[in-house]
Amino acid sequence: MSPSLQEHALQFTQLSHEVQGVDGKYVSGPQDWKFVAFYATVSTLARFFVNEVFLEAVANAGGVQPEKRGRFKDQGWQCLYYMAAFISGFSLLRGTEWGQAVMAGDAAPLFQEYPVGHIELSFKFKLYYLRQLSFWAHQLFVLYIEEWRKDMPLYLFHHIITIGLISASYLFNLTRVGTAILVEQDFADIFLPIALMLKYLEWETACEAFFALFAIAWIPTRHVILPWIYYRIWTLYDDPSLNLGEYDPGAGSYLSPDTQNAFLLALGIFQCLLIMWLKDLIVSIYRAVTSGEKED
């Protein structure tokens, strides 16, 4: 294999755009799509292997009914991913001063001194961000091969917005706020797949417990923390202490009132989608409490 061809091949499996002369630091760049495409494919293959080998065995041992096994395995795959994603993202936040400040309730470091300190990413941060993007790209493909459900259009809309927000925040060097949102979103998503798997296993008491945990986690993450971040974006230019750089794409600075409004619009639509699901969650809780009826 020629050196040139080998270099192109490695771009599919290894991170690209390492900063010259700075060990372990990376920036975004045009070759990153190769890494995302490759690991979206790997995620699809990994999903098949985990579902058909590991989770199929769990379903057999648990006596899951044949018509429910597809859903059981899909929920298992999602649970494993969200747990790994949350642990990874949370660990990355805890490992930075700005992340610790955000977890302590100060959102200013998400944008402080932008773009200084926001352009270069560590190996772990870039890997985390692009793996998140590749997972959601793979989820978009999986949506088309799954059995059709009435809520599929909403999931399709959700996946497209998620991919767009992750991509834009990555390209515009806004990965701090992107990571904060991903971590708080992934936390609640751990509990619903577990609850559904327990339902298919017919472990009703455990199912109800995890569904309660999901409901408890959903509201503060989706409808308290996310609006808190949204408000910080809304008031970006009201706080001169942030010392934001002027719009200059050549210097990696993409923040402007237009950029701000675009993210506010996308996150606002995203929040409306979450409110629709909150309504469904409240209805499900009401039915479970009043009649014992539970739906997927």
More confident residue, 264 or 13: 264
Distance CA 208, CA 193 (A): 12
Give CA angle at 89 (84, 111), nearest 5°.
Answer: 160
Q: Which residues have a Cβ under 8 Å from the Cβ of 219 and sit 6 or more positions away?
A: 278
Return the pLDDT at 283.
86
Q: Which residues have a Cβ under 8 Å from the Cβ of 216 and sit 6 or more positions away?
A: none
Instruction: Give me the percent of the chain exceeding a pLDDT of 70.
Output: 95
Model confidence at 10, in pLDDT bands (50, 70, 90)? confident
Model confidence at 53, in pLDDT bands (50, 70, 90)? very high
Q: Which residues have a Cβ under 8 Å from the Cβ of 84 and sit 6 or more positions away?
A: none
Distance CA 64, CA 57 (A): 10
Residue 25 is inside which H or E element, if any?
Answer: strand 25-26
* Residue the block writes with tokens 């959700």: 158
Distance CA 111, CA 255 (A): 10
Taking a C-beta distance cutoff of 8 angstroms, is the pair 249, 215 a contact? no
- 285, pLDDT greater than 80: no
Residue 22 is inside which H or E element, if any?
Answer: none
Q: Which one-letter amino acid corresponds to residue 245?
A: G
Residues 170-229: tens digit of each pLDDT: 999 999 999 999 999 999 999 999 999 999 999 999 999 999 999 999 999 999 999 999
DSSP for residue 121? E
Model confidence at 291, in pLDDT bands (50, 70, 90)? low
Residue spans per domain, the chain? 11-291
Residues 56-109: tens digit of each pLDDT: 999 999 999 999 999 999 999 999 999 999 999 999 999 999 999 999 999 999
Return the pLDDT at 295.
58
- 293, pLDDT greater than 60: no
